[in-house]
């Protein structure tokens, strides 16, 4: 099997699952975006995915995203979903179209002042595991004040919430919790109805809970050898 056949097969399996779960949860599959997470995989894989029709790709590291985005056609939408580092914001703003991992007021202000800001949409990342502050995301209890800050003090376009399901608990429960937090965000951003949740191991539960953006890597590309 060539790499293209392998990726086409895996992609087909994932797309069919998304379709089925969406339909059985009474959701329209067309309102669910699949972001293929290409992190640690070579540019050649991203090019194959492009040939297979994929236009949304996700990366966790600035250097890698900058490199891949330079080599792929212009109509790929690049999603940054790694932990943001302040000193990388200028560079991330140069290639990412969507940032899924906004979790600090200082970073928000920095994104806001980057004039060449390419980033069109931001998700606020929520950490649903409050005792693990190393994992990225703000605690759910801070969402109201964080959203208010973004609305009043920046021009960033906030479109929704993002989370990574905690390892310590049932993913489905975590996704239902993220969905419930939407009402808090909508007080500041009435149009911010997107929910970025669901990865290779838990995307079915995420669809059932209302995900609009799935971030899927290993189910399509295989297991990662290099650390993310
Ligand atoms: C790596 C990563 C993914 C994709 O994970 P898979 O388990 O390979 O599907 C999604 N979201 C984030 C934030 C990631 O770091």
Q: Give the tens place of pLDDT for each residue, 142-189.
A: 999 999 999 999 999 999 999 999 988 899 999 999 999 999 999 999
- How many domains, in total, are found in the chain? 1
Q: Which residues are within 8 A (CB) of 33 and not within 5 positions of it... i.e. 6 or more apart?
A: 56, 212, 213, 214
Reported as a pLDDT band with limits 50, 70 and 90, residue 135 is confident
pLDDT of residue 168: 84
**Angstrom distance (rounded) from CA 163 to CA 195:** 8
Reported as a pLDDT band with limits 50, 70 and 90, residue 115 is low
Residue 103 is assigned to a structural domain of this protein: yes
**Angstrom distance (rounded) from CA 79 to CA 101:** 10
**Is residue 83 in contact with ligand 1, taking CB distance under 6 Å?**
no
Average pLDDT, stretch 124-146? 91
Residue 195: φ, ψ to 5°: -135, 110
Residue 56 is assigned to a structural domain of this protein: yes
Reported as a pLDDT band with limits 50, 70 and 90, residue 56 is very high
pLDDT of residue 227: 67
Residue 138 is assigned to a structural domain of this protein: yes
pLDDT of residue 61: 97
Give nearest CA residue, ligand 1 atom 12.
Answer: 81
With 0-12 / 13-18 / 19 or more C-beta atoms within 10 angstroms meaning exposed / middle / buried, residue 166 is middle
Beta strands, E only, 68-212 = 77-80, 98-102, 121-127, 138-139, 158-162, 194-196
CA 113 from chain centre, in angstroms, equals: 23
Give the structural domain span for 90. Answer: 3-221
Residue 227 is assigned to a structural domain of this protein: no
In this structure, are residues 150 and 186 in contact, taking their beta carbons and an 8 Å threshold? no
- Give percent above pLDDT 70 in the chain: 97
| pLDDT tens digits, one per residue of 205-225 | 999 999 999 999 999 999 987
pLDDT of residue 3: 98
- What mean pLDDT value characterizes the chain? 95
**Angstrom distance (rounded) from CA 121 to CA 193:** 12
- Give percent above pLDDT 90 in the chain: 91
Residue 226 is assigned to a structural domain of this protein: no
Q: Quickly count: other Cβ atoms within 10 Å of residue 222's Cβ.
A: 14
Residue 181: enclosing H or E segment and its boundaries?
Answer: helix 171-188
DSSP class of residue 53 equals T
CATH of the domain at 205: 3.20.20.10
Residue 132 is assigned to a structural domain of this protein: yes
Residue 228 is assigned to a structural domain of this protein: no
Q: Quickly count: other Cβ atoms within 10 Å of residue 144's Cβ.
A: 14
Nearest ligand 1 atom, CA 199:
9
**pLDDT higher than threshold 70 for residue 33:** yes
| Pocket mutation for ligand 1, best pick of 7, 11, 37, 56 (most atoms within 8 Å of C-beta) | 37
Query: Quick check: helix, strand or coil at residue 227?
Result: coil
In this structure, are residues 29 and 19 in contact, taking their beta carbons and an 8 Å threshold? yes
Give nearest CA residue, ligand 1 atom 6.
Answer: 217
Residue 38 is assigned to a structural domain of this protein: yes
């Amino acid at each position: 099997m060539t790499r293209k056949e392998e990726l086409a097969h895996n992609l087909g399996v994932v797309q069919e699952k998304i379709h089925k779960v969406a339909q059985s949860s009474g959701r329209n599959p067309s309102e669910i975006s699949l972001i293929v997470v290409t992190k640690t995989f070579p540019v050649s894989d991203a090019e194959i995915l492009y040939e297979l029709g994929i236009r949304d790709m996700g990366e966790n590291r600035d250097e890698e995203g900058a490199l891949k985005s330079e080599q792929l056609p212009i109509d790929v939408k690049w999603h940054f979903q790694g932990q943001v580092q302040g000193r990388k914001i200028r560079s991330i703003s140069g290639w990412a179209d969507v940032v899924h991992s906004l979790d600090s007021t200082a970073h928000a202000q920095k994104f806001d002042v980057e004039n060449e800001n390419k980033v069109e949409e931001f998700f606020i990342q929520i950490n649903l595991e409050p005792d693990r502050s190393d994992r990225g995301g703000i605690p759910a209890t801070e969402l109201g004040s964080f959203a208010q800050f973004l609305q009043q003090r920046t021009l960033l376009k906030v479109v929704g919430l993002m989370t990574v399901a905690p390892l310590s608990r049932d993913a489905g429960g975590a996704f239902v919790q993220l969905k419930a937090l939407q009402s808090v965000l909508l007080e500041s951003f009435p149009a911010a109805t997107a929910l970025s949740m669901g990865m290779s191991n838990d995307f079915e539960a995420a669809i059932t809970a209302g995900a609009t953006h799935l971030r899927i890597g290993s189910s399509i590309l295989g297991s990662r050898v290099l650390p993310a």
